[in-house]
Amino acid sequence: MTANPTALPRGTGIVTRRPLILQLINRASTSKTPNGTSETVEGTTDSQSNVDEWGEFLHIPGQKFHDFNKIREEIVRETEAKTGRNAGISPAPINLRIYSPNVLTLTLVDLPGLTKVPIGDQPRDIERQIREMVLKQISKPNAIILAVTAANTDLANSDGLKLAREVDPEGQRTIGVLTKVDLMDEGTDVVDILAGRIIPLRLGYVPVVNRGQRDIENKKPISYALEHERQYFENHKAYRNKSAYCGTPYLARKLNLILMMHIKQTLPDIKARIASSLQKYSVELAQLGDSILGNSSNIVLNMITEFSNEYRSVLEGNNQELSSIELSGGARISFVYHELYSNGVKAVDPFDQVKDIDIRTVLYNSSGSAPALFVGTTAFELIVKQQIKRLEDPSLKCVSLVYDELIRILGQLLSKPMFRRYPALKEKFHAVAVHFFKKAMEPTNKLVKDLVAMEACYINTGHPDFINGSRVRKDGALLG
* Rounded percentage of the chain residues whose pLDDT exceeds 90: 28
**Dihedral pair phi/psi, residue 203, rounded to 5°:** -90, 0
Does the residue 47 lie in any domain? yes
pLDDT classification of 34: cutoffs 50, 70, 90: very low
**218 and 324 part of one domain:** no
Domain boundary residue, one of 264, 280, 305: 264
Distance CA 357, CA 124 (A): 80
Domain boundary residue, one of 221, 249, 264: 264
pLDDT at 294: 63
pLDDT at 39: 46
Does the residue 384 lie in any domain? no
343 Cβ contact list (under 8 Å, min separation 6): none
Whether the pLDDT of residue 73 is over 50: the answer is: yes
What average pLDDT does range 431-441 have in this prediction? 91
What average pLDDT is seen over the chain? 81
Q: Which residues of 292-310 are buried (b: 16+ CB within 10 A; e: fewer)?
A: eeeeeeebeeebeeebeeb
3-state DSSP call for residue 453?
helix
**253 and 310 part of one domain:** no
**Neighbour tally for 417: CB within 10 Å:** 11
**182 and 316 part of one domain:** no
Distance of CA 277 to the CA centre of its chain: 19
Enclosing domain of residue 307: 296-348+391-479
**83 and 198 part of one domain:** yes
- 209-239 pLDDT, tens digit per residue, is 988 777 777 878 888 889 999 999 999 999 9
Whether the pLDDT of residue 72 is over 70: the answer is: yes
pLDDT classification of 1: cutoffs 50, 70, 90: very low
Q: Which amino acid is at 343?
A: N
Q: Which residues of 353-376 are buried (b: 16+ CB within 10 A; e: fewer)?
A: eeeeeeeeebbeebbeeeeeeeee
Distance CA 131, CA 133 (A): 5
Does the residue 282 lie in any domain? no
Whether the pLDDT of residue 451 is over 60: the answer is: yes
254 compared with 292, residue with greater pLDDT: 254
pLDDT at 235: 93
Whether the pLDDT of residue 132 is over 80: the answer is: yes
The answer for 275, left when phi > 0, alpha when psi is -120 to 50, beta otherwise, is: alpha
Alpha helices in 218-355 (DSSP H): 222-235, 248-288, 296-316, 330-335, 342-346
Does the residue 364 lie in any domain? no
**246 and 318 part of one domain:** no
pLDDT classification of 108: cutoffs 50, 70, 90: confident
Whether the Cβ atoms of residue 39 and residue 27 lie closer than 8 Å to each other: no
What CATH number is associated with residue 451? 1.20.120.1240
- How big is the CA angle at 58 (ends 57 and 59), to the nearest 5 degrees? 90
**132 and 184 part of one domain:** yes
**14 and 143 part of one domain:** yes
Whether the pLDDT of residue 155 is over 60: the answer is: yes
Does the residue 461 lie in any domain? yes
Does the residue 455 lie in any domain? yes
pLDDT at 43: 38
**229 and 301 part of one domain:** no
* Rounded percentage of the chain residues whose pLDDT exceeds 70: 81
**What 8-state DSSP symbol labels residue 39?**
P
Does the residue 466 lie in any domain? yes
**127 and 200 part of one domain:** yes
What average pLDDT does range 31-43 have in this prediction? 46
Does the residue 377 lie in any domain? no
**222 and 300 part of one domain:** no
**334 and 195 part of one domain:** no
pLDDT classification of 31: cutoffs 50, 70, 90: low
pLDDT at 41: 42
pLDDT at 272: 92
- 386-410 pLDDT, tens digit per residue, is 778 888 888 999 999 999 988 988 8
**48 and 122 part of one domain:** yes
Does the reported pTM lie above 0.75? no
Q: For the chain, how many structural domains are there in total?
A: 2
Domain boundary residue, one of 220, 248, 264: 264
What average pLDDT does range 300-329 have in this prediction? 78
pLDDT classification of 36: cutoffs 50, 70, 90: very low
What average pLDDT does range 357-372 have in this prediction? 66
pLDDT at 227: 92
What average pLDDT does range 365-391 have in this prediction? 70
What CATH number is associated with residue 94? 3.40.50.300
